[in-house]
Amino acid sequence: MNPGGMDMQALLQQAQQMQQQLAEAQEALDEAEVEGTSGGGLVKVKLSGRGQVEDITVDPKAVDPSDAEETAQTVADLVLAAIRDAEAQVERLQQEKMGPLAEGLGGGGMPGMPGGGGMPGLPGF
């Protein structure tokens, strides 16, 4: 009989299962790719499931050769908006893949991690 009422074997087994689930979720995020868009598709940004920018595409229609200064600012704004769109999708994907693990820890996230998360390379965790 364990004086604390805790079955250490069961706790270790649960920790191993959670570690396996975490590894599987991280692998799924490594393989995932999301695309953010802005300007009705004039700018597209691809991010990995971990939030790293993989590619940026700017449609030539976004460029007005008669006004380079205005075009430069417009394209910069469109790129920023597309990145934000993609980041929001990455956050939703991470919640989908990692959320159940946080719930399995009593909703508090990973023990010992500030704010219940803070995993390097995983914004929002």
CA neighbor of 93 nearest in space, from 24, 28, 46: 28
CA neighbor of 41 nearest in space, from 78, 16, 92: 78
Residue 79 lies in a domain: yes
Share of residues in the chain with pLDDT > 70 (%)? 74
Does the reported pTM lie above 0.85?
no
Q: Distance between CA atoms of 86 and 33, rounded to whole angstroms?
A: 9
Q: What's the pLDDT at 116?
A: 41
Query: Measured between alpha carbons, how far apart are the two ends of the chain, in Å?
Result: 37
Residue 21 lies in a domain: no
| Structural domain of 94 | 28-103
Under 8 Å between Cβ of 50 and 29: yes
Q: What's the pLDDT at 15?
A: 86
Helices then strands (H, E): number in the chain? 2, 3
CA neighbor of 97 nearest in space, from 54, 34, 41: 34
Question: How many structural domains comprise the chain?
Answer: 1
Q: Which residue has the higher pLDDT, 3 or 78?
A: 78
Q: What is the dihedral of CA 15, 10, 4, 107, to 10 degrees?
A: 40
Question: What pLDDT band is residue 102 in, cutting at 50, 70 and 90?
Answer: low
Residue 98 lies in a domain: yes
Q: What's the pLDDT at 107?
A: 46
Residues pairing with 45 in the sheet: 36, 56
CATH number at residue 57: 3.30.1310.10
